[in-house]
Amino acid sequence: MTQRTTEGTFCLVLHSHLPWLAHHGAWPVGEEWLYQAWAHSYLPVVDMLRRFADEGRSDVLTLGVTPVLAAQLDDPYSLRGMHDWLGNWHLRSHFAGERLKELSAYEHRASRWALDRFETQWRHGFSPVLRSLVDSSTIELLGGPATHPFQPLLDPKVRAFALKAGLDDTALRIGRAPDGIWAPECGYSPGMEAGYATAGVKRFMVDGPALHGDTSAAHPVGSSDVLAFGRDLEVSYRVWSPKVGYPGDAAYRDFHTYDHPTGLKPSRVTGKNVAPEDKRPYDPLLAKEALDRHVADFVDTVVRRLREIDGGLVVAAYDTELYGHWWHEGPLWLEAVLRALPEAGVRVTTLRGAVEAGHVGAPVELPASSWGSGKDWRVWDGAQVADIVSLNESVQKELLGLDFSSRTRNPVLDQAVREALLALSSDWAFMVTKDSAADYARYRAKIHSDRFSELAALARSGRGLGRATELRAADGPFGHLDARGMG
């Protein structure tokens, strides 16, 4: 497709991530979270990208997929669970027909479509699907550290190991390591670029304020050749911000209101202060009208912003799970925007494509930063999560004190390191600070740190193979992980 590029360059970056959920509860937090995001975000977003690939379009968007999410989407246990979940959704759509006929028909079509896509394209996991999109250059893939830890709070040795384990895992699944990463939580501390350069990372994401608002180009960090791209918050916040955004429109489907007998969502947002029982029924036609308005608004916003910066670069970045899971109409909006922007004279490309187009500015010194509240580290290092911070420090101290000098692999140490990485996931502190299933998050941080300490003690005594084998059956991502890399 030939693009009429007179306005400037736009990059859409999607960050796909969920913590390791397999074997750790089902509802309301746990595997249900994985299956909902899979059905409502990953299936439709990937289907959209396959359509673009079939049309011959390249560099459509930059897709970040964390190694821990990729591991779940390839895991046989999760694949079986997902198939069961989709079948259950289809059955629930039939059951709803007794009371909610229009919703039943709508959900029947959606669940039948999802089952068809899963059974014909996903039964061997995500990696074959993802690799085809990477190989065709439809997308640029971003990787990251193995379990999505908040890197600024890691010991440099642990940080380097987690990043290498993540890049190695992506290389195994896709055929090569990615050139860029989504730095977990956009977390940065001065000097991290040196570790990125050593690991072969050429570019990473930060939030706009880390670049003091100058997001109209990528910038080399310090004296390195590693490039930092920043989110343009003026554009990104049109879709979703801490307070406002398109998904809150009264016509869109309400995420929080359930028909409890079926688990389906029958209502539209209606209003911010409207009680669930008073919300109006969902109407796809009204939602389509709102979507058309918001597509036009976003395109106008991008064009206006590009003119303000003299045709430079605009990077908008979001969680992939916003599209479909949290915002039901999101995948339709996404495709419409990616088709409308070229028609408005905007070059749509990837971070790689932006570099090739010359959108690289002067070197910068970045401050300690994140994309969390306050744009600092408070979400992951604040008073609310002092217990998790202390736990993480203890895990790292014990981890660094283990003996990794063996000439042969030690499955007990391998599993100990695996549990340590799971304990260090940034998700647990985030969920506590945001009061989102905080008890579950604290439980997950504690159970993985306890399992790590148990295995570490067994490894020091030369025992523990049976226990390591048992724990790996539940927490088994990154089968290639070799603890000797910590040595």
**Whether residues 404 and 295 fall in one domain:** no
Distances in Å between the alpha carbon of 254 and those of 104, 233, 271, 378, 423?
16, 25, 10, 30, 33
**Whether residues 140 and 13 fall in one domain:** yes
- Structure token digits, residue 208: 């706009």
**Whether residues 332 and 200 fall in one domain:** yes
**Whether residues 16 and 76 fall in one domain:** yes
212: left (phi over 0), alpha (psi -120 to 50) or beta: left
174 part of a folded domain = no
Task: Let me know the angle formed at the C-alpha of 172 by 168 and 174, rounded to the nearest 5 degrees.
Answer: 110
Cα gap 196→226, rounded to integer Å: 7
Q: Which of 169, 156, 231 is nearest to 196 (CA)?
A: 156
Catalytic residue (one of 31, 59, 185, 419): 185
374 part of a folded domain = no
Domain limits at 38?
Answer: 8-144+182-356
**Among 307, 340, 356, residue at a domain's last position:** 356
- Structure token digits, residue 423: 């304990």
Q: Quickly count: other Cβ atoms within 10 Å of residue 26's Cβ.
A: 15
**Whether residues 247 and 312 fall in one domain:** yes
168 is catalytic: no
Catalytic residue (one of 319, 376, 450, 482): 319
**281 phi, psi to nearest 5 deg:** -65, 150
**Whether residues 319 and 398 fall in one domain:** no
The answer for residues whose C-beta is within 8 angstroms of residue 371's C-beta and 6 or more apart is: 185, 186, 206, 207, 231
Instruction: Give pTM, 2 decimals.
Output: 0.96
123 part of a folded domain = yes
Q: Quickly count: other Cβ atoms within 10 Å of residue 213's Cβ.
A: 12
74 part of a folded domain = yes
HEC secondary structure over 340-390 = HHHHCCEEEECHHHHHHCCCECCCECCCCECCCHHHCCHHHHCHHHHHHHH
Give me the CATH number covering residue 481: 1.20.1430.10
319 is catalytic: yes
**Whether residues 287 and 340 fall in one domain:** yes
Residue pointed to by tokens 């063996």: 406
116 part of a folded domain = yes
Indicate the number of domains in the chain. 2
**Whether residues 401 and 257 fall in one domain:** no
Spans in the chain with pLDDT lower than 50: 1
**Whether residues 231 and 309 fall in one domain:** yes
**Whether residues 79 and 203 fall in one domain:** yes
**Whether residues 474 and 408 fall in one domain:** yes
Write out pLDDT tens, residues 146-196. 999 999 999 999 999 999 999 999 999 999 999 999 999 999 999 999 999
